[in-house]
Amino acid sequence: MSNRVVVAIALSVLLVLAGCSGGGTDTPSDEPTDSTVAQPISTTGATPDSTETATPTRTGTSIPLSEVSYPPGTSADGISNTTALIAAHNDALTGLDFTGQYNGTTWEGTANRSGRYTENVTVRVDADEQRILTSLVEFSNRQESPQRRESAGYNNGTTTVSRLVQNDETEYRVRDAQPFDQSVQFGSDLREVFRIGSYEPVAAVERDDRTLVRYELTAVNQSQIPENGTVDIAEGTVIVDERGLVHEASVRVRVTATEDGVTGTIERRVTFSLSTGEVTVERPPWVDTAISQQEAS
């Protein structure tokens, strides 16, 4: 089994342990700045070194988009094949240490639901030592089902150990894992960013012997909008290098719709970030507790 699969399994174990949830009672703190759906985003003055979310911030050398060698699934016209791009992203991570972070937040203010649900996922991979540490923190302040859950998973290539903390109780699971081949994956969460709509390249920069291209959301996929809904705000950014490795991505969409005669809003925000470089994954102390409990049962 590849450690591409191991990472996917580790994340799925966290989700199985945690279950499903959503909702809350607060609302997004900032107001929308754009009320159009498919309005092109101006590239005037756009550089990959601006300070907005999901934009490279370190110094680089700007290059014309005409000189860019686009990765699989992309071209000068935009991101056309997300399956190919995610496959290239996963392949580029093969054998690399990395830290990946994903945050997804949903605000709902409709006839049947009200509140906020947030999930934060962190994945740390030590490819040399064949160790993976994953964590999932969920929070909901939905009036009918407030909650906070913390899940974690540890894999050393031979054993997978998971922990769930919820309602002042802790649950452990231990199972065997087959060795992996240093092929890693943290790209599945990008699908949510891509399916929102269409992205086009707006700027490129050379940095650390890599070419980074910035794509911006230019149109929203109508299939993602309720039949009677209107888009109040839609913005998104993806930063990808020539290998197809996605370094950062973010998307924000707010929709107004009428449900049961009541007009409400739903907003979804997603951020994704990835950093490569040496990562050391230590064995968490709770792993010994989990193994001891299993041996005693």
Segments making up each domain of the chain, as ranges: 3-296
SS3 state at 12 = helix
Q: Does residue 1 have a pLDDT over 70? A: no
b/e map 265-289, b = 16+ CB within 10 Å = bbbbbbbbbbeeeebebeebeebee
Between 147 and 169, residue with greater pLDDT: 169
Q: Does residue 28 have a pLDDT over 80? A: no
Reported as a single tens digit per residue, the pLDDT across 208-237 is: 899 999 999 999 988 888 778 899 999 999
Reported as a single tens digit per residue, the pLDDT across 94-153 is: 889 999 999 999 988 876 777 889 999 999 999 888 899 999 999 988 766 678 899 999
How far, CA to CA in Å, does 2 sit from each of 158, 177, 178, 243?
Answer: 12, 10, 8, 21
Inter-residue contact 251 to 217 (CB < 8 Å): yes
CA dihedral 293, 151, 247, 5 (to 10 degrees): 50
pTM: 0.76
Distance CA 88, CA 72 (A): 7
Residue 267: pLDDT band with limits 50, 70, 90: very high
Reported as a single tens digit per residue, the pLDDT across 186-198 is: 677 788 899 999 9
Distance CA 4, CA 232 (A): 38
Distance CA 100, CA 70 (A): 23
